[in-house]
Every structure is written in structure tokens, then in C-alpha cells.
Amino acid sequence: MTLTPTEVRALVKRHGLAPRKSDGQNFLVDANTVHRIVDAADVGSDDHVVEIGAGLGSLTLALAETGAEVTAIEIDSGIVPALREVVADLGNVRVIEGDATELDWDDVLADGDEWTLVANLPYNVATPLVCDLLDDVPAIRSLLVMVQREVAERMAAGPGSKQYGAVSVKVAYWGDARVVGHVPASVFVPRPNVESALVRIDRHAPPDIGPDDLFPLVRTAFGQRRKMLRKSLRDHVSPEQFAAAGIAPESRPEELGLDEWCRLAGSVTA
């Protein structure tokens, strides 16, 4: 169950909506893509799902059809009445109007101990929002996010690739990430100018090193990613600490995986 392109256009007209591309308001209208996303989320009747960027409810309907309890979050006060109309007859959906970057997540997720996040995120908020949720909302155990393809590749990148960066290390610290599908622009109304991809992140236990000890070092190094670590981190890591961690000072930041970064941070804090 989902919305057809005809139903989406009728909703937009009935509620006097004008989707804003600047806010990432591109409504998903392809049933096959919707069901691919639901399959990738792997949720069912025992699950709690929080959907960010619910829009007009195409994906919300399909998530609800699995029997999961769905909390649909939408920031646009103009779209929310249309969303409420779409899900009005569903007993397992609640709609929250709000900005996902400012919500009290303890309150939003109070009905369940473990949650799956499903989201269609615009480029400008995708990375900081995902990182903040990983840092601060442990009740979200799995994330399936649709983002610009380059953002998805960056989140799931491994060491040695050009996409690999501080965000990749952050995601790897909290979970296992992989790109699980690509989404063409043709399945949206209006059609965006970029290609999208689906990235799934499943939480795992983080390393022993604390994030406050690790990530400042990672950000500093990737802020000067063309430099060798002995130069970019000269004010933070001594030659003896490089040696203790077993890290070559001549390495560049994209050569180090999560384990190596943790060893280096551990040597600094020892």
C-alpha cells in the first residue's frame, strides 16, 4: 500500500502545496522503490519505526502495512495536514510535526526500547543528523536512510577509498554501514537533480576508546588529509605515541581504519 503519482498530485493540489526543492521536498511516488525500502528496513509487527521526513506518506503507508508501530515526523506545517489525512484510518501511525534536529528524542521514543529509523533526508541535514543520532540516541538500533548518493558512499566508505573521511570513521565507530540500493531521480515528484542511495547502519558495541578522545584527533587529521599524520597531528601525537600505537607517522588519514585510529587515540590518552 502506497500513494500513486496521481494521488500525490491530487493531494498537493487539494492542500495547495508547492514542494520546495531547496528543502529536499521530493515526494516518492514509485511503489517498487517504496517496497524496496521497506524490505531493506526489515521491520514487522513487533517493531517500532520512526520515520523522518514522512512527506505525504507514501513510505509511511508501506511501513504501517508491515504491522510495525510507526512514528512519522514531518517538519513542514503545510504538509502535515495532508500527511494526517493519508494515515487517518491507521491505528499504528502517529504523526509528529517537528524538526528532527531539535526534538526531545527521549520523549519521542518513549513507547519502545529499540527503534528502527527510516528517513529520506535532504543533503544539507543528512550527515549532521545521522551523526547526532548515532552519538546521542542509542535507542535507535538500526538506521536506513535515503540520501544523496555521494553522502551514502561517504558514510559506508572504508579506508583507502577517496570517499573515506571523518564521517566514515564516525559511522564505523557506532555501527556497520553498507549501501543497500540506489534510487533514480525518476521515482520522485518533483524530480530532483541528484541521484539518491540507501545506506543501512546497524549499531554495534563501540570500541573501548571514548568518542571525546577519538574524534577530535580524527577531525584534525582529515582537516588536512593531504598531509602525513606526523605533520597534521604534530601538536597532538608525539613520535613515541605513534610508535606505541604501531602507526607509521608518514601515513595519511585515509590509510587508517577504525582500529588504527583507536590505537592512536589510546596511545595519546595512556
Claim: this prediction has a pTM higher than 0.75: yes
Q: Is the pLDDT of residue 36 over 70?
A: yes
In the predicted structure, residue 26 carries a pLDDT above the cut 80: no
Q: Is the pLDDT of residue 165 over 80?
A: yes
Residue 19 has pLDDT above 70, yes or no: no
Residues 263 and 186 in one domain: no
Domain stop point among 178, 203, 228: 203
Domain of residue 251 covers: 211-269
Domain identity same for 172 and 227: no
Say if residue 130 is in the same domain as residue 162: yes
User: Which has the higher per-residue pLDDT, 219 or 30?
Assistant: 219
Three-class HEC string of the chain: CCCCHHHHHHHHHHCCCCCCHHHCCCEECCHHHHHHHHHHHCCCCCCEEEEECCCCCHHHHHHHHCCCEEEEEECCCCCHHHHHHHCCCCCCEEEEECCCCCCCHHHHCCCCCCEEEEEECCHHHHHHHHHHHHHHCCCEEEEEEEEEHHHHHHHHCCCCCCCCCHHHHHHHHHEEEEEEEEECHHHEECCCCCCEEEEEEEECCCCCCCHHHHHHHHHHHHCCCCCCHHHHCCCCCCHHHHHHHCCCCCCCHHHCCHHHHHHHHHHHHC
Question: Within this chain, do residues 226 and 176 fall inside the same structural domain, yes or no?
Answer: no
Based on the fold, state whether residues 198 and 173 are members of the same structural domain. yes
Mean pLDDT to the nearest integer, 104-114: 95
Q: What is the average per-residue pLDDT within 166-188?
A: 95
Domain total in the chain:
2
Q: 71 and 138 share a domain?
A: yes
Q: What is the pLDDT of residue 235?
A: 95
**Lowest-confidence region among 122-131, 203-212, 217-226:** 122-131
